[in-house]
Chains A and B, each alone.
Chain A
Amino acid sequence: MLQGIGVSRRFGGLKALTDFDFLVEKGQIVGLIGPNGSGKTTLFNVITGFYPADSGKVLYHGKDITRCKPYEIAKLGIARTFQIVRPLLGLSVLDNVTTAVLYGRENIGSMAKGRGRALDLLRFVRLDAKKDVPGQSLVAAERKRLELARALAIKPEFLLLDETFSGLNDTEVADAIKLIFKIRDELGLTIFLIEHVMKAVMGTCEKIFVMQYGVKLAEGKPEEVSKNPAVIEAYLGKKKHA
């Protein structure tokens, strides 16, 4: 469904992403892990058109989307969340989602209809009780759910989640995992997620890519990846031999 072939991106002398290949199939939940600064968010920014790729291609349903602009990517059905959650602070929770419904793939003209759909989505992420509260007065976990509702509001087929679980406590992580499965199973979305919270990655993903210094280190099922010596080394450092 979403495929990258030799995707590369550099910032000046820094190679943020080198020859990265990936493939996410329809209906999968796929993880992208790696130490801080390894280029995970850069990959998402390239996919969603925020950074142009220096070389390589991103294919969506077999169509080249490498040169598409961010709003065109959204219209194609690829939604994303941001690592540092970015609710539209001055707007109410409902308005945050409504705007995305209006301009999303359904392209609704009527405000009332848009608001109705937005409210459905807020119920889906269980944020409807806070619909009239401004975005800035939400706590971290609620902001993440708002971000999720806003991403879902464009009626995507494909969802890119950038560290949705970080900063959540154990109960909240468990809730969020349930929500991810609900999004896939009830809404039929394919999900590609960046994550540091191992419990969440192991609990949700059927395939994981591991990245370091912009290069793919490993790829496979969670249990395989977690035993891979190169991955262990990247995360924990080399074992010292006495």
Chain B
Amino acid sequence: MDEIQEKPKDHAQTRSWGKYIYFPVILVLLFAFPLVKPPLFFLTLFFSVFMYVGLTESWNLMGGYTGYISLGHIAFFSTGAYTTAVLMNRLGASPFATAILGGVFAAILAALVGYPVLRLKGAYFTISSLLLAVVMQLIFMNWEFVGSSTGLWYKLLPVSIETNRLIFYEVMLVLATVITVVVRWVEKSKFGAGLIAIREDEDVAKTMGINTPWLKMQAFILGAFLAGWVGGVYGYYMSYVHPEVTFNINTSLLILLMSFFGGCRTWTGPLLGAVVLSLVNQLIVTFIGAEISRILYGLLLVIVIIFMPDGVMQYVKGAFMRVKG
């Protein structure tokens, strides 16, 4: 097998972590950030950035690699949030044990709805995934056990609000990192190669011996699990869940837009999209005004879609290649 040695060095999958040496540095800085006692505003802001990184990366397993655009990701996120809310509110369970259970319940939900929903393709899949979120919101609005339309409050941890924020800042940072690493691993693995083949041509994928329904199911469940986990942590952080807030369809749209903004074919795209768009969104809303934010946001997306249809990441790479010759 001497041909393995002569791998092309520009080949995407053969890149090592070496190229991303600045990632650990940024991570350490982010991890240490609370030490400088920043205003709560920044902790909250960064928390939401991490949350969107986690959601967008996990969404990308189906949306980016497999080509199944889901608007139902918020349903898995909310399942996670409600799992921790109910477990704490009704049973007094500790947040750190139950956040991952949020992921487990979301995964179970994905397994149940995945079987019928994944038989649909294109717009039909997208619409049915949206319906999942809408129907679940209605159910949760009317379900006494989970607080119906009054929502559920968490009991706060017996620490100060600052410490509380700090803990969840760090937890969400770790979670976002874990999710990004998992998604990157999928992209470079046999699993990812199979998903990408499904995106490119599902019939051809079958002739390659890929059990396409099962592979899609795995990606769907993994994405739901990760989103549910994020939801579990989010619920604690907000200390309140309400169907109108957690099932907000705008969040689903935002995830999709972030992914397309950065470029949904690689793990770096959603990361960039989630960071840039959530920062832009929050900063403009806070310092300039919500109306201006909407306009700029829309403008930015129009520009990206027209001039960089493969996302900013791909565009920058292409420009870099052209400069290099």
Contact = CB atoms under 8 A, between A and B. Distances in A.
Contacts of B1: 113, 116
Interface string B11-31: 101000000000000000000
A102 B193 contact: yes
A103 B188 contact: no
Contacts of B205: 99
A46 B200 CA distance: 23
A189 B211 CA distance: 24
A69 B4 CA distance: 33
Given A111-B193, A132-B11, A99 B208 contact: yes
B207 A88 contact: no
Given A91-B196, A112-B7, A70 B190 contact: no
A27 interface: no
Interface in A65-114: 69-71, 74-75, 79-80, 82, 86, 88-92, 94-95, 98-100, 102-105, 108-109, 111-114
Contacts of A109: 190
A104 B193 contact: no
A115 interface: yes
Contacts of B194: 99, 102-103
A154 B11 CA distance: 23
Contacts of A150: 204, 208
A108 B193 CA distance: 12
Interface in B23-49: none
Nearest to A150: B208
Contacts of A114: 190
Interface in A26-67: 48, 50
A70 B207 contact: yes
Contacts, number: 97
Nearest to B11: A132
Contacts of A211: none
A231 interface: no
A119 B207 CA distance: 19
Contacts of A75: 209
Contacts of B188: 111
Given A113-B4, A119-B3, A71 B193 contact: no
A108 B1 CA distance: 14
Contacts of A80: 207
A70 B265 CA distance: 27
B325 interface: no
Given A98-B193, A99-B196, A113-B1, A71 B206 contact: yes
A52 to B, nearest CB: 14
Given A89-B200, A113-B4, A132-B11, A70 B189 contact: no
A111 B189 contact: yes
A67 B188 CA distance: 34
Given A88-B200, A103-B194, A153 B11 contact: no
Contacts of B200: 88-91
A116 B8 CA distance: 12
Contacts of B190: 102-103, 108-109, 111, 114
A112 B189 CA distance: 10
B189 A71 contact: no
Nearest to B197: A99
Nearest to B310: A90
Given A103-B194, A112-B4, A86 B13 contact: no
B194 to A, nearest CB: 6
A151 interface: yes
Given A70-B203, A71-B206, 19 more contacts: A70-B206, A71-B209, A71-B211, A74-B206, A74-B207, A82-B204, A91-B200, A92-B11, A98-B193, A99-B205, A99-B208, A100-B208, A100-B209, A103-B208, A103-B210, A109-B190, A111-B189, A112-B4, A115-B13
- By Cβ-Cβ distance, the 7 closest A-B pairs, closest first, are A88-B200, A70-B206, A74-B209, A100-B208, A116-B4, A99-B193, A103-B209
15 contacts: A50-B206, A86-B203, A88-B200, A90-B196, A90-B199, A95-B193, A103-B190, A111-B189, A115-B4, A116-B1, A116-B3, A131-B8, A150-B204, A153-B208, A154-B209
Interface of A: 48, 50, 69-71, 74-75, 79-80, 82, 86, 88-92, 94-95, 98-100, 102-105, 108-109, 111-116, 119-120, 131-132, 150-151, 153-154
